[in-house]
Amino acid sequence: MEIRAVAPGEVDAVRDIRARAFGPLPDEVWARRSRLVRQAAEAGRQFAGFDGRAVVATGALLDMAQWWNGRAVSTAGVSAITVAPEERGRGLGRRLMTDLLERCAGLGHPLAMLYPATTRLYRSLGWEHAGGWHHVDLSTEALRTIAAERVPVRRAGPGDAAEVAAVIGRAHRTARDCGPVGWPEARWREHLDAPDVYHYLAEDGFLSYRWAEGNAGLEVLRLVASSERTLRALWAIVGSGSSTAESVRACVSPADPVLWLPREREHEVVHRSQWMLRVVDAPAAIAARGYPAGVAAGVPLEIDDPERPANSGHWRLEVADGEGRLERSTAAADAVRLGPRGLSALYAGIPVTTLRRAGLLQGADAEALTAVFAATPFSLDYF
């Protein structure tokens, strides 16, 4: 198998293998989907494994950012990993993922993120479960009764891509969010052009929603706002649909302020899908993210990362004043020992006590690291 970038003129070559992996792609669906594949190909980010002329594997590395404590960290979104059904179980999936991990580093992404259909393949290459993509079921009527004043809001379309990206970025930065993804403007243009999705833009907030459940309910794809006033106003727009849509399934963080707005809150249905993280370049990833205010620590680390040897060795982690850095060091008897899975999970805020009992972290007492990396990571995007 030869793995190489797919040329923009070749994108139809991945349609059949993607259909065999994820379900049928009739013409009208492929017409839309292939626009994103072409975008990835044009950026040199759509890859395929070829056996002669036959495509036997595919994968894309989307150009994203991921917010960590309010700072955007350059991240590869690993997407649409496939191996042709007749070639599975012979190691092609692992070869593809090993190759793509190198390419993530080559493209300058300190982090990589993916939604796993199976954990085993990715764990074996240093990925670990890190955060969730949550959907909460809400009553539309409860949203309608949220007190809101009118704020200037307008319908948004593809021409608003840059402003939408900027408004969302500001909201995640000011909320010091961990986990949500940021897209380049070109990807936003495609999102904002999706059929039957309604977009509203305010000065400091953005809403996307569509009909769901055979038009008996609504689905909020994204609602972010920096101020209480805009947050209330955008949820009120969703709630205004209560006469025709009884329920709303909303993609929100488990700590989203909307859950603290309705008068009643008791039983809650939360759907959660897991995503995994891979620290690709440890010093760059540590330097790029934000850290909680008032937290300081100096901890010796010993990292063993066979797939990314540049991460391996003795380090000292220094965190102070919201900044972190990883510096080369000599062996220390009191070092905390981690592999790439432990490091990736720690980066995502999984507590040290969990990591130690899961066998992902060993060595000296490292409780300070729980406060350093404290996070409840969420995503608002599936890819």
Q: How far is the CB of 122 from ligand COA (least distance, A)?
A: 8
Tracing tokens 């990807």 back to the chain, one arrives at: 187
Q: How far is the CB of 85 from ligand COA (least distance, A)?
A: 7
Q: Please check whether residue 292 is in contact with residue 371, taking contact to mean a CB–CB distance below 8 angstroms.
A: yes
Q: Please check whether residue 298 is in contact with residue 289, taking contact to mean a CB–CB distance below 8 angstroms.
A: no
Residues 6+ apart with CB under 8 A from 9: none
User: Is 81 one of the binding residues for ligand COA (CB under 6 A)?
Assistant: yes
Closer Cβ to ligand COA, 32 or 90, answer by number: 90
Tracing tokens 């300081």 back to the chain, one arrives at: 296
User: Is 92 one of the binding residues for ligand COA (CB under 6 A)?
Assistant: yes
Among 15, 33, 38, 88, binds ligand COA (CB under 6 A): 88
Closer Cβ to ligand COA, 89 or 214, answer by number: 89
Q: How far is the CB of 194 from ligand COA (least distance, A)?
A: 22
Q: How far is the CB of 56 from ligand COA (least distance, A)?
A: 9
Q: Which residue is nearest to ligand COA (CB)?
A: 93
Q: Considering CB under 6 A, how many residues would be counted as binding ligand COA?
A: 17
Closer Cβ to ligand COA, 83 or 148, answer by number: 83
Closer Cβ to ligand COA, 23 or 214, answer by number: 23
Closer Cβ to ligand COA, 82 or 253, answer by number: 82
User: Is 100 one of the binding residues for ligand COA (CB under 6 A)?
Assistant: no
Among 14, 21, 348, 375, binds ligand COA (CB under 6 A): 21
Q: How far is the CB of 15 from ligand COA (least distance, A)?
A: 14
Q: Looking only at residues 101 through 120 of this chain, which bind ligand COA when binding is defined by CB under 6 A?
A: 116-118, 120
User: Is 154 one of the binding residues for ligand COA (CB under 6 A)?
Assistant: no
Residues 6+ apart with CB under 8 A from 95: 1, 3, 49, 57
Closer Cβ to ligand COA, 91 or 298, answer by number: 91
Closer Cβ to ligand COA, 117 or 270, answer by number: 117
Closer Cβ to ligand COA, 18 or 232, answer by number: 18
Q: Which stretch binds ligand COA (CB under 6 A): 7-15, 76-84, 303-311, 338-346?
A: 76-84
User: Is 243 one of the binding residues for ligand COA (CB under 6 A)?
Assistant: no
User: Is 123 one of the binding residues for ligand COA (CB under 6 A)?
Assistant: no
User: Is 364 one of the binding residues for ligand COA (CB under 6 A)?
Assistant: no
Q: How far is the CB of 89 from ligand COA (least distance, A)?
A: 5
Closer Cβ to ligand COA, 97 or 338, answer by number: 97
Residues 6+ apart with CB under 8 A from 163: 156, 201
Q: How far is the CB of 156 from ligand COA (least distance, A)?
A: 31
User: Is 54 one of the binding residues for ligand COA (CB under 6 A)?
Assistant: no
Q: How far apart are CA 277 and CA 181, in angstroms?
A: 12
Which among 58, 56, 55, 32 has a CA at the least distance from the CA of 45?
58
Q: How far is the CB of 273 from ligand COA (least distance, A)?
A: 11
User: Is 94 one of the binding residues for ligand COA (CB under 6 A)?
Assistant: yes
User: Is 91 one of the binding residues for ligand COA (CB under 6 A)?
Assistant: yes
Q: Which residues bind ligand COA (CB under 6 A)?
A: 21, 81-83, 88-94, 116-118, 120-121, 124
